[in-house]
Amino acid sequence: MDTIKSFKGYGKVNPAEDREFRRKSRNRLIVIGVAAIVLVAIVIGIAIAAVRSKSTGDGDSSQTSSTSLSDSIKVVCSVTRYPTSCFSSISSANGISAVRNDPKQLFEISLRVAMDEISKVSSSIANFTIPLNDKRLVLAVRDCKELSADAIDRLNDSISSIRSASEGKSLTASSINDLRTWISAAITDQDTCLDGFEGTTESIKEKLEAAMANSTQFTSNSLAIATKVLGAFEKFTSRFHRKLLATTGNHRFPRALLQDLSRLKPNVTVAQDGTGQVKTINEAIAMIPKKSKDPFVIYVKEGVYRENVLIDKNRWNVIVVGDGMYKTIVDGKLNFVDGTPTFSTATFAVAGKRFMARDMGFKNSAGPEKHQAVALRSSSDCSVFYRCSFDAFQDTLYAHSYRQFYRECDITGTVDFIFGDSSVVFQNCKIRPRQALPNQQNIITAQGKKDPNENTGISIQGCSITPYDNVTAPTYLGRPWKDYSTTIIMQSEIGSVIHPAGWLSWVAGTLPPDTICYSEYQNTGPGSSVAERVKWPGYMPAITAEEAKKYTVELFLKGSDWIAETGVVFQSTLG
């Protein structure tokens, strides 16, 4: 994310502007209501078609079957953002002739065509002519290949889940949320791939955007079907005595074992003084078995470990425990100015699912002049960070994708220092903006939701926002990075360091899209007044308790179980 050079303040709107804002808000509610009614009709139509198709057996004529299937595809695709590409891609997909009028089967086809297109993108990148002396471009290509492979894996997980449902297990609310999380992450992966080419040869980025046009649309189509069709379809067809069985796919930490991490016997101890089995964290990482269902505990003794660490997607259930957030510190210096794409600047990066860190510090000491320099990047599903510190300047904490939870952590930075496109909740954390470079503003959050059907956003609950040092730069709660950016600050103590306008546009002097969702709820402190906040259609200075509950651990993360299993105390809903 680029350094900000200028700022135009926001004041109160005049009465005419206020009336226009309220009119737009009412219109949005009307549109949402009408859309909900239409969706119910669509889903019932699909269900009836599916049930009728099953009841007629195999004796239908090929023409009748073809017509019925074509109609079903049209109905399913009508809920997507790109119905034309949805219909054409599914209708022409291999194996479509064997599909019956079942939305789950059509959904699986949509996933397969998205995967095929992502594979094509990965292959096309290999044909790009890349100057070997262009470090940032070489690394951007490397990251894009990795992200494409991750996106394919996430769609594969979705196919496995839907096939399990086809074999007799029902798609529960939990399993549908899993699907939405995985496909949202696949969208984020592709978007991150493109973001990595910022500051590189423009012609390469244009070629890549063209190559990714189909894959991004097809993935979006799959997400829309999962979001708007599958859940409602399952509810309707359950009346026809469908068997209800919950699906489970994630291993759980043994709760009794994790009630007190201090009693855990480490699998490996890291100590710079030689009192452990190894002296570096990377040596310990190399000892982690792949895809283990049992916790692997790494104890890192006090010290500053100057290394860049990656826990890849094949290392599951890893727990890293230090001696304190300011005693055990991992410190790196990779940064954007010196030629590393933002994604790869992270001092500590984790992708394997169910990761946990406790009493650890993560730092990027590149300094403010180096711009984007990430301390920690998490692409780990169901990851938990407890009593950890994150210390850098621009882009400190990259909550990249999946579901994440942070409790009693300290987060310090300047520009967009909490950013990404995960579903993330911060509780009881200290968020501390620091003095930025001259002519810079501080922005705490930059959320990257690109598609309206993603279940992502940043939720900050019960935290404190106070300056790290003598901050004179204008400081804001956040700015919308993408068109559907979603952020809520609730039940938090907001210090006077926050500018009265509260929020900032991505591009100075312009209004953000109406599609963003920004709000505040029951905050306190001298910076919590909403009297002079921005007057955006997508910003709500006051919301109801029911609206706020949607962004709690219980409803937003569906995380009461996977967080509780770590032994970390948390607040499930509103206080």
Work out the number of other CB atoms within 10 angstroms of the CB of residue 206: 11
Q: Please report where in the chains the tokens 């360091």 appear, as a residue.
A: 497
Contact 539, 227 (CB under 8 A): no
The angle subtended at Cα 542 by Cα 538 and Cα 546, nearest 5°, is 95
Q: What is the pTM of this model?
A: 0.88
Query: Which of 78-93 are b and which e, b meaning 16 or more Cβ less than 10 Å from the residue's Cβ?
Result: bbbebbebbbebbeeb
pLDDT value of position 244: 32
Work out the number of other CB atoms within 10 angstroms of the CB of residue 238: 13
Residues with a known catalytic role: 395, 416
Count the helices and strands in the chain (H runs, E runs): 13, 26
What pLDDT digit, counting tens, does each position of 386-408 carry? 999 999 999 999 999 999 999 99
Please compute, for residue 218, the number of CA atoms within 13 A of its CA located in the half-sphere on the CB side. 29
Residues 6+ apart with CB under 8 A from 302: 322, 323, 324, 327, 328
Residues 6+ apart with CB under 8 A from 430: 409, 410, 411, 463, 464, 466
C-alpha 250, offset from chain centre: 18
Q: Please report where in the chains the tokens 């926001």 appear, as a residue.
A: 10
Domains and CATH numbers, the chain: 56-240 (1.20.140.40), 266-564 (2.160.20.10)
Cβ neighbourhood burial of 169 (10 Å; 0-12, 13-18, 19+): middle
Residue 99 tokens, joined: 């599909």
Which residues in the chain show pLDDT less than 70?
A: 1-67, 166-170, 233-263, 559
Residue 505 tokens, joined: 């546009």
Contact 408, 535 (CB under 8 A): no
Longest CA–CA span in the chain (Å) reads 78
pLDDT value of position 14: 41
What span, in angstroms and rounded, lies between the C-alpha atoms of 104 and 162?
7
What pLDDT digit, counting tens, does each position of 488-505 carry? 999 999 999 999 999 999
Question: Would you give the end-to-end CA distance of the chain in angstroms?
Answer: 35
Residues 6+ apart with CB under 8 A from 107: 76, 162, 222, 225, 226, 229, 230
Q: What is the mean pLDDT of the chain?
A: 86
What span, in angstroms and rounded, lies between the C-alpha atoms of 7 and 506?
10
Beta strands at 356-358 and 383-386: parallel, antiparallel or unpaired = parallel
